[in-house]
Amino acid sequence: MSHDKPASIIVFDVNETLLDITTLEPLFDRVFGDRSVLREWFAQLILYSQTMTLSGLYTPFGELGVGSLRMVASIHGVSVAAGDIDELKKRMNTMPAHADVVPALSRLRDAGFRLVTLTNSASASSPTPLERAGIGGFFEQSFSVESVRRFKPAPETYRLVAEQLGVETSDLCLVACHLWDTIGAQAAGCRGALVTRPHNAILPAAEVPVPDVIASELTDLADQLVQRWR
Residue 5's pLDDT band (cuts 50, 70, 90): confident
Global pTM value: 0.96
pLDDT value for 1? 44
**Half-sphere exposure of residue 128, counting CA atoms within 13 Å on the CB side?**
20
Query: Looking at the predicted structure, is the pLDDT value of residue 18 above 80?
Result: yes
**Half-sphere exposure of residue 216, counting CA atoms within 13 Å on the CB side?**
2
Sheet containing 141-144: order of strands: 141-144, 114-119, 9-12, 172-176, 191-195, 213-215
Task: Please name each of the domains of the chain with its CATH number.
Answer: 9-19+95-229 (3.40.50.1000), 21-93 (1.10.150.240)
pLDDT value for 4? 63
Mean pLDDT of the chain: 96
Give 109-148 pLDDT, tens digit per residue: 999 999 999 999 987 678 999 999 999 999 999 999 999 9
Distances (CA, A) of 122 to 37, 142, 217: 24, 10, 27
DSSP 97: B
